[in-house]
Amino acid sequence: MLEVFYTTDMKNSSSLPQQKTYTIHEVAQRTGLSIPTLRYYEEIGLVPHVWRDSSSGHRRYSADTLQVLESLANLRAVGMSLDEMRTYLTLREQGDETAVEKRELFQAHAEKIGTQIEQLQIRQHYLAFKVAYWDARARGDFAEAERIALEYENIVKDLR
């Protein structure tokens, strides 16, 4: 269960209303991001300012920051780069006015993943041929191994 604090005892908290905050451990648990990753995202400015408890100095994440981090966790899970994440967050702040740009960002990444999938399928096909080749050799079926080796030459071209 998440430990939720209602606090105004934070640095620069005079500008914040009383709100729920979450510890770094709670945020890590909710987002699946590691604590070092959360710290890194803060360090490079990927997440908005993270408040610190004035008495302990511990990070306290607002619900809004948690929501941003949940989005970042999803983007990271689909393999987006830090630059792509930063672009998305900038576009997100601009609302629906940038819907086309957001769609284009996600479409470009989907196409990139499609290319990666194709490359992985070629690698998988190559490995399947190698398994079949060595299986034939292990059985002593050298004619089958030779047939596979000839077929395998076409796959090697695709592999490179």
| CATH number of the domain enclosing 11 | 1.10.1660.10
Q: Is pLDDT of 6 > 90?
A: no
The answer to whether residues 88 and 121 belong to one domain is: no
The answer to whether residues 117 and 39 belong to one domain is: no
Tokens at 99, concatenated:
């819907």
* pLDDT the model gives residue 156: 78
Q: Is pLDDT of 15 > 60?
A: no
Q: Which residue blocks in the chain are alpha helix, DSSP H? A: 24-31, 35-43, 63-77, 82-93, 99-139, 142-159
Q: What is the mean pLDDT of the chain?
A: 88
* pLDDT the model gives residue 157: 76
Domain count, the chain: 2
Q: Is pLDDT of 89 > 60?
A: yes
Please indicate, yes or no, if residue 125 is contained in any of the structural domains.
yes
Task: Give residue 77's domain range.
Answer: 5-93
Q: Is pLDDT of 155 > 90?
A: no
Please indicate, yes or no, if residue 87 is contained in any of the structural domains.
yes
The answer to whether residues 15 and 61 belong to one domain is: yes
